Amino acid sequence: MTFPDFPGAFYPVAIFAILLTGISKSGFGGGAGGVAVPLMSIFIAPPEAAGIMLPILCAMDIFGVHAYRGLASRAHLKVLLPGALVGIAVGALAFGALPVNVIRLLIGVIAVAFALNRWLRLTERLAARFDRQGGPPGPRAGRLCGALSGFTSTLAHAGGPPFSMWMLPQKLDKTTLVATSVVFFLVVNYVKLVPYAMLGQLNANNLAAALMFAPLAPLGIWLGVRVHRMMSDRVFYAISYTLLFATGVKLVWDGLHG
């Protein structure tokens, strides 16, 4: 297996992005986990960045599922997952049909939206609005949010906001919510292996890079536990989402002017 010939600047950025993803997943609930693909896409094509990250995310998911085994809400997963499968298919079609710069533009828009969602608390506001309107949103909204989550997850491994938009108003206890999230994204990530393989995103170069970066997965998880004790959520998210927003703006610019 030959290692890919990526630009030299890509490697430190990829190391940082993967470690940040692991720290986010284990130390801060995964909220900033969508930063890796946008950051890596500055230096390599977005399909390559997503292809490298997917096996690493699958490895990280195993740790989470083991920790929360048997605690997820099957009823909510039954609503979300069918829509997610549709979203994955649409995202795969986009990867296969659209030019690289258009994909870069889409990922940049997702990154900017992800950051703005955090800063403006749009997901929380929508959840509160649903609550004021007489109860949590029903299965139809759940299928739509599942589809949006599957789509954004396929393009940029950033399916958290649509998932939260439907799940937060369900008023589940914290453990059940986190466990359902862990199982949902494990299923989504492992299903994504199929279209990624069909589109050539799990080629020898990308798999070699994923293998090279694989030791960073448990290291990032371990660092997340340590950082959680030393750094407040506010500081961590301020840094992460500022970086994500700046990266998204750069990708939008590159997509429009590339």
pLDDT digits (tens, 9 = 90+) for 22-47: 887 766 655 566 788 999 999 999 99
Distances (CA, A) of 47 to 24, 26, 99, 184, 215: 22, 26, 11, 22, 22
Q: Among candidates 164, 169, 197, which has minimal Cα distance to 181?
A: 164
Q: Give me the pLDDT at residue 159, please.
A: 87
Count CB-CB contacts under 10 A for residue 144: 17
Q: What is the mean pLDDT of the chain?
A: 86
Task: Report residue 233 as tokens.
Answer: 């959520």
Task: Report residue 70 as tokens.
Answer: 């048997």
Between 5-19, 165-179, 189-203, the lowest mean confidence (pLDDT) is in 165-179
pLDDT tier at 258, thresholds 50, 70, 90? low
Contact 162, 152 (CB under 8 A): yes
Sequence spans of domains, the chain: 10-257
Contact 55, 216 (CB under 8 A): no
Percentage with pLDDT > 90 across the chain: 37
Between 88-97, 221-230, 242-251, the lowest mean confidence (pLDDT) is in 221-230
- Tens-digit pLDDT profile for residues 99-125: 988 988 988 898 888 888 878 887 777
pLDDT at 182 over 90: no
* Length of the chain (residues): 258
- Tens-digit pLDDT profile for residues 209-226: 999 999 998 888 788 777
